[in-house]
DNA sequence: TTGACGGGTAAACAAGCGTCTACTAACTTC
DNA sequence: GAAGTTAGTAGACGCTTGTTTACCCGTCAA
């Protein structure tokens, strides 16, 4: 029997936004369909367009709802390389980067959301990271580190629990720490 | 008026394969349609399926036709970091990696070709590179370097001629060289 | 009680995709 | 010259996509 559905505009809107966030973060933009979101949010498809406009706009709102690079950067500068290394080794291990990183590793090359990803990566990752690096070429060094994170995510999604974490975790973290240090060194 | 078309099976097959290679290398898998390939190759769509089966199989044949990581690895070990740095700074500057690298930077997260990319990246990049690295953890170190190349390609495609090459090229090459050295160091 | 407002729903829409079928016409073989 | 083989073509097929339309019906003010 059909449950009587509550008439709860804000609640429904939030359920849709949460579902979209989860799905985009797991599958990327193109693999997520409106029908998949509606099923996950237990809401009618038409409501997605009614509340958010187009799929593109919904995606933009999901990314905008994300904060800056999650807490990883809030650390003294000398600990940053190790912290990022652990992030790559652990967080990426469970495919649990946020929607911004997922957009970089699963949905690049989709022209529809090119500008959105571009702006969000800059404001959520590149610029905060560059701001923490003293000395010249801060943006270049932040870009190198971001490239490493991005590429690691791509390979991780390709090979699952292979390669990057098949030896003991400590060896991986140690290696990545040195690489990040090379990215940041003046 | 319509030119009389030669009946040239091998020629047509090659035109299709070349066009597909060019397009896949520029746009990635999903953005390339069968109709786009047929137009670029100036051949009828049905012929693509006739000669290559499915789009997926055509893509696999394009990747298989590519050699190993193009000549970049054929260099003494101590010159490898700088060589890769120049490759990333220059070759990626013009979006001219081959179809294999493009698949990594524009078409990851497409389940349809997951296995194809996986196998090809391993055999064309990871394993040849690991084979050139003496000492333990060769695969891990090759993976780190590949992650850097991949991520650099992704960011490059995102920001165009920005970030990674906005300062003088020499600074970029110098920086990347150090990072690759950190990837390869025992 | 009535009437409008608005959240929710089902169904259809147009467009694009990969793929396939039926046909034409050029070359080869006898 | 007739018959058969085969490269090439046009068009449609079935499916999925994002998006929109037309319609319900609970809620609440008058």
The predicted-structure confidence for A49-63, as pLDDT tens digits, reads as follows: 999 999 999 999 999
Among B30, B141, B147, beta carbon nearest to A151: B147
Strand C: which residues 91-150 of B lie within 7 A (CB)?
Answer: none
pLDDT value at residue B160 = 85
Closest residue in B to A115 (Cα–Cα): B158
Q: Residue B97: what pLDDT? A: 82
CA/C1' separation B56–D14 (Å): 19
**Contact flag A147-B146 (C-beta cutoff 8 Å):** no
Residue B164 has pLDDT above 90, yes or no: no
A8 burial level (CB within 10 Å; 0-12, 13-18, 19+):
exposed
- Cα separation, A163 vs B140, in Å, equals 6
Residue A95 has pLDDT above 80, yes or no: no
Q: Decide: residue A171, CB within 10 A, 0-12 exposed, 13-18 middle, 19+ buried.
A: middle
Q: Do B163 and A179 touch (CB under 8 A)?
A: no
Is the Cβ–Cβ distance between B141 and B80 less than 8 Å? no
- B-proximal residues of A, 74-93, CB under 8 Å: none
Q: Are A173 and A92 in contact (CB under 8 A)?
A: no
For residue range B137-149, list pLDDT tens digits in order: 999 999 999 999 9
Q: Are the C-beta atoms of residues A117 and B158 closer than 8 Å to each other?
A: yes
Residues 6+ apart with CB under 8 A from B106: A108, A109, B27, B28, B29, B31, B157
Q: Choose among B109, B146, B166: nearest Cβ to A157.
A: B109
Q: Is the per-residue pLDDT at B162 higher than 70?
A: no
Report, as an integer, the average pLDDT of A33-51: 98
Q: CB-side exposure of B81: number of CA atoms within 13 Å?
A: 19
% of chain A surpassing 90 pLDDT: 81
Average pLDDT of the segment spanning B109-134: 96
The tokens for B178 are: 């150090």
- pLDDT, tens digit (0-9, with 9 covering 90-100), for A109-146: 999 999 999 999 999 999 999 999 998 899 999 999 99
pLDDT at A40: 98
Q: What is the per-residue pLDDT for A90?
A: 87
Q: What is the pLDDT of residue B1?
A: 33
Distances B183 to A58, B34, B144, B151 between C-alpha atoms, Å: 39, 40, 6, 14
Fold of B2-62: Arc Repressor Mutant, subunit A (1.10.10)
Q: Supply the mean pLDDT for chain A.
A: 92
Q: Per-residue pLDDT averaged across B39-49, rounded?
A: 98
Task: List the domain boundaries for chain B.
Answer: 2-62, 77-184
> What pLDDT, on a 0 to 100 scale, did the predictor assign at position A166?
64
B47-78 pLDDT, tens digit per residue, is 999 999 999 999 999 999 998 886 889 999 99
Chain C bases closer than 7 A to any CB of the protein: 6-12, 16-22, 26-27
pLDDT in tens, A137-180: 999 999 999 999 999 999 999 998 665 556 688 999 999 999 99
Please give the structure tokens belonging to residue A142. Answer: 């932040």
Residue B147 DSSP SS3: helix
Gap from B49 CA to D9 C1', in Å? 14
Nearest to B179 among A104, A157, A183 (CB): A183
In chain B, the residue whose alpha carbon lies closest to the alpha carbon of A162 is: B140
This prediction has a pTM of 0.94
Residue written as tokens 């999903």?
B30
State the pLDDT at residue B4: 44
CB contact under 8 A, A31 and B111: yes
Q: Which of B139, B137, B128 is nearest to B100 (CA)?
A: B128
pLDDT of residue A168: 83
Output the six-digit token pair for A185. Answer: 């060194």
Number of neighbours of residue B54 by Cβ within 10 angstroms:
12
pLDDT at residue A107, rounded to an integer: 97
A77-86 confidence digits (pLDDT tens): 999 999 999 9
- What pLDDT, on the 0 to 100 scale, is given for residue B131? 94
* Nearest C-alpha in B relative to A116: B158
Q: Which of A28, A154, A179 sits opposite B179 (nearest CB)?
A: A179
Is pLDDT at B94 greater than 80 in this prediction?
no
Distance (Å, rounded) from C-alpha B168 to C-alpha B24? Answer: 30
Average the pLDDT over B95-99 and give the result: 82
B138 to chain A: closest CA residue: A163
Q: Is A176 on the interface with B (CB under 8 A)?
A: yes
Residues 6+ apart with CB under 8 A from B56: B112, B113, B116
Q: Residue window 29-58, chain B: list those with CB within 8 Å of chain A.
A: 30-31
Is A31's pLDDT higher than 90? yes
Number of H helices, E strands in chain B: 10, 0
Residue pair B31/B21 in contact (Cβ under 8 Å)? The answer is: no
Q: Which residues of A142-167 are buried (b: 16+ CB within 10 A; e: fewer)?
A: bbbbbbbbbbbbbbbbbbeeebbbee
Report pLDDT for B3.
Answer: 40
């Amino acid at each position: 029997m059909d449950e009587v559905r509550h008439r709860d505009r804000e609640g429904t809107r939030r359920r849709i936004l949460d579902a979209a966030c989860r799905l985009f973060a797991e599958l990327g933009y193109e693999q997520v369909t409106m029908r998949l979101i509606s099923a996950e949010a237990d809401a009618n498809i038409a409501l997605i367009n009614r509340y958010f406009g187009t799929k593109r706009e919904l995606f933009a709102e999901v990314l905008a709802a994300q904060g800056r690079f999650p807490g990883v950067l809030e650390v003294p500068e000398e600990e940053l390389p190790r912290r990022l290394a652990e992030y790559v080794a652990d967080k990426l291990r469970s495919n649990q980067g946020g929607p911004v990183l997922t957009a970089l590793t699963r949905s690049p090359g989709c022209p529809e959301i090119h500008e959105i990803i571009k702006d969000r990566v800059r404001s959520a990752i590149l610029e905060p990271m560059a701001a923490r690096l003293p000395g010249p070429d801060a943006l270049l060094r932040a870009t190198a580190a971001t490239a490493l994170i991005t590429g690691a995510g791509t390979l991780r999604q390709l090979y699952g629990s292979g390669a990057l974490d098949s030896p003991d975790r400590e060896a991986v973290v140690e290696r990545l720490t040195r690489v990040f240090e090379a990215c940041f060194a003046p």
